[in-house]
Chain A
Amino acid sequence: MAGFFAWRGRHLPPPVVALLMAPFFMLIVFAFLYPILSLLSLSVTEPQPGLGNYAKIVENPLYATVLMRTLWIAVVVTVCSLLLAFPLAMAMAQARGAMALLLTACVLLPFWSSVLVRTAAWSVLLQRNGIVNGLLQWVGLTSEPVRLLYTEGAVVIAMTHVLMPFMVLPIYGALRNIPPDYGRAAAICGAGPIRRFFEVTFPLALPGVMGGAILVFLTALGYFITPALLGSPKEQMIATLISQQLREFLDWPFAAALVGVLTVFVTAITLAFSKVFRFDRMMGGQL
């Protein structure tokens, strides 16, 4: 991670910078800005000009519920990812040689298979006669199969699994950037392992935590496949709702309005984050 950002600090002439960034900006403009702006314009022009579509969202409490649920699941997934990712990132940052390679491979390996495959795997594991239910009964926690699939728990577990690498990598980067002398300095000052963690390691890893949290949280907000496959209509998230409007009801203007609401939320949250934590510090993990 650190090596990737080692480019910073080297100054390139502005035309070269512009040239290097051109492909990215073209992609952003044609594949992101243009479609989303035309979609958003649809939401205020069809069927009649005005905010009718947005009024519809406000009038029906279902949409607010779905939006709140989406935010809730995204928060839960972010917190679960953080709790699982931090110890792993610490182990990775401390590991050397073959162990470091193995851990990195374990984190990156899931990227080699598609999200669909990983989600399908969870539906196999969590089904009525699946391994998890079998285990629960064998241990004696339940006497008969429990409903695991099509629950909020299933959605959260699978999304956490899929999104966790995005949390691990920035935290790992931040931890790797902490010079080992900081821990030693804290120790010789009288701090035991727990206080070293809370007084030094965690505060210094915070930029990585924030970077990972925003990646996971924003991705989770717009997540589609996992809630669609592992959740029931009760676990419907906003992305599934939008897709439903598009594909089943062919109500493009209303779907566009939902996209508009989601966009406003994502933008607001992103701005709030970047107000507190400067973005440029997040990925490099430097304070």
Chain B
Amino acid sequence: MIAEAASPARTSDSATGARVSIRGLGKSYGSVTAVTDVSMDIESGEFVALLGPSGSGKTTVLMMLAGFELPTGGEILIDGRDCTRLPPQKRDIGMVFQHYSLFPHMNVRDNVAFPLKMRGIGAAERRRRADAALEVVRLGGYGDRSPKQLSGGQQQRVALARAIVYEPKLLLMDEPLSALDKNLREEMQLEIKRLHSELGITIVFVTHDQGEALTMADRVAVLRDGKIQQLSPSRELYERPANLFAASFVGEMNLIPGQWDGATITLASGDSLVPPPQAFPQPVAPGAALLAFRPERLALAPAGTPGALPATVREVVYAGADTLIIAAMPDGTEIRARVPSAGSRDIAGGTAIALVCPPDAMLVYAGGAA
């Protein structure tokens, strides 16, 4: 019988991103509850955004993922390992902070090499890898400068290099772009997307900017009052918000009060519409309801078009590529439409128009006023 050396079973998959599993996570400070029963499973290499207004608990969730805050309930598993109570320095996570947090007493290279130094890697190897990480964020040759000599965007790229230099499997970002101006922010969004696809790293990204969340993330978790309102792919979140909060928080949304009788929704203006079955993210009992649709899904039609909603233009706001038309329905309810600027030249305040709402743009939510 031939003795065969046991080949070690390859247990880990080849993907470089960590799987993160958050189960029933809660955090309260005394009697104040910041986070309640947050659960989500993040796949290896996934880009998840935590989106919410300030005080929604999104940052607290991130702080618990990083290990800066201890949860008062639930658990956090990273690649199956229970990290709930592990101190941050033992988690092997990369993190980018809102205000860069580059160490002012070190030059750029020493900042980037800092995590390597903490891991006992020799000076020559540190230097090589730090310079390589700076190349990745397109700051090769900046190693000897002081962080203060760099612009905000460059500083944030150094922070990014520092976060990825030791090749962590999970990268956390705490509103990393909010301190940058608009052009730089868009450039950095693309830069981070590029890095994400190049490195295959799992990213959890906190932002209060819904456009940023939709642009960057594979999936977006909308939080409010410490609870997840919706966790779904960007497109689904935008096109089919699960509830009224998600609908009104993400993007512009017309919310028109009406009465739902199980077949048609009758608006206060007297118009009746028949929403298709897929217009109901959640079941709505007959009674007071809200008809929701995105302003850009409305099409402009001549006044009197059958099946369209009649309205009178109040205000026309030109915004370059498109134009926002703020109009009033016969009962005074405001309705907004965003139409391509090219075709709306002759619209002015006081014009009687009609707005066509395609059935697949309709959403119906239970409840009265938003």
The residue from A185, A187, A188 contacting B103, defined by CB atoms under 8 A apart: A185
Distance in angstroms from A40 CB to nearest chain B CB is: 41
**Do the beta carbons of B118 and A185 come within 8 Å of each other?**
no
B245 CB within 8 Å of chain A: no
The residue from B97, B99, B103 contacting A200, defined by CB atoms under 8 A apart: B103
**A192 proximity list for chain B (CB < 8 A):** 87, 89
- Using known A-B contacts A189-B115, A190-B115, A190-B119, determine if residue A184 contacts B103 with beta carbons closer than 8 Å: no
**Do the beta carbons of B118 and A190 come within 8 Å of each other?**
yes
**Do the beta carbons of A191 and B118 come within 8 Å of each other?**
yes
**Do the beta carbons of A181 and B97 come within 8 Å of each other?**
yes
**B101 proximity list for chain A (CB < 8 A):** 179, 181-182, 184-185
Contact string against A for B residues 109-135, beta-carbon threshold 8 Å, 1 for contact and 0 otherwise: 000001100110000000000000000
CA distance A181 to B89 in the complex (A): 14
CA distance A181 to B66 in the complex (A): 12
**Do the beta carbons of B87 and A187 come within 8 Å of each other?**
yes
8 Å CB interface, A180-237 against B: 181-182, 184-192, 195, 199-200, 203-204
B94 CB within 8 Å of chain A: yes
**Do the beta carbons of B105 and A184 come within 8 Å of each other?**
no
CA distance A50 to B95 in the complex (A): 69
CA distance A191 to B105 in the complex (A): 16
**A188 proximity list for chain B (CB < 8 A):** 66-67, 88-89, 91, 93-95, 172
CA distance A159 to B173 in the complex (A): 49
A287 CB within 8 Å of chain B: yes
B162 CB within 8 Å of chain A: yes
**Do the beta carbons of B104 and A187 come within 8 Å of each other?**
no
**Do the beta carbons of A185 and B97 come within 8 Å of each other?**
yes
**A182 proximity list for chain B (CB < 8 A):** 101, 103
- Using known A-B contacts A190-B118, A191-B118, determine if residue A185 contacts B104 with beta carbons closer than 8 Å: no
Interface residues on B, range: 20 to 34
CA distance A186 to B99 in the complex (A): 14
Distance in angstroms from A198 CB to nearest chain B CB is: 12
Distance in angstroms from A204 CB to nearest chain B CB is: 6
**B162 proximity list for chain A (CB < 8 A):** 185, 189
**Do the beta carbons of A181 and B99 come within 8 Å of each other?**
yes
Q: Which residues of B contact A (CB under 8 A)?
A: 66-68, 87-89, 91-95, 97-99, 101-105, 114-115, 118-119, 162, 166, 172
Find the A residue at minimum CB distance from B63: A184
**B105 proximity list for chain A (CB < 8 A):** 203-204, 287
Distance in angstroms from A285 CB to nearest chain B CB is: 12
Distance in angstroms from B283 CB to nearest chain A CB is: 44
Q: Is the interface of B mostly helix, strand, loop or mixed?
A: loop
The number of chain A residues with a CB under 8 A from chain B is: 18
* Across the A-B interface, the 5 shortest Cβ-Cβ residue pairs: A190-B118, A189-B115, A185-B101, A181-B101, A187-B88
What are 22 A-B pairs with beta-carbon distances under 8 A? Answer: A179-B99, A181-B99, A181-B101, A182-B103, A184-B68, A185-B97, A185-B162, A187-B89, A188-B66, A188-B91, A188-B93, A188-B172, A189-B114, A189-B115, A190-B89, A190-B166, A191-B118, A192-B87, A195-B118, A204-B103, A204-B104, A287-B104
**Do the beta carbons of A199 and B114 come within 8 Å of each other?**
yes
CA distance A287 to B105 in the complex (A): 7
Find the A residue at minimum CB distance from B102: A185
Distance in angstroms from B189 CB to nearest chain A CB is: 22
**A184 proximity list for chain B (CB < 8 A):** 66, 68, 88, 95, 97, 101
Q: A179-B101, A190-B89, A204-B105 are in contact. List 17 more A-B contacts (CB 8 A).
A: A181-B101, A182-B101, A185-B95, A186-B114, A187-B68, A188-B66, A188-B93, A188-B94, A188-B95, A189-B89, A190-B115, A190-B118, A190-B166, A191-B89, A195-B118, A204-B103, A287-B105
CA distance A204 to B106 in the complex (A): 10
CA distance A187 to B69 in the complex (A): 13
CA distance A190 to B91 in the complex (A): 8
CA distance A181 to B59 in the complex (A): 13
**B102 proximity list for chain A (CB < 8 A):** 185
Distance in angstroms from A159 CB to nearest chain B CB is: 31
Distance in angstroms from A282 CB to nearest chain B CB is: 15
Find the A residue at minimum CB distance from B174: A181
Find the B residue at minimum CB distance from A185: B101
**A190 proximity list for chain B (CB < 8 A):** 89, 92, 115, 118-119, 166
Contact string against B for A residues 1-45, beta-carbon threshold 8 Å, 1 for contact and 0 otherwise: 000000000000000000000000000000000000000000000
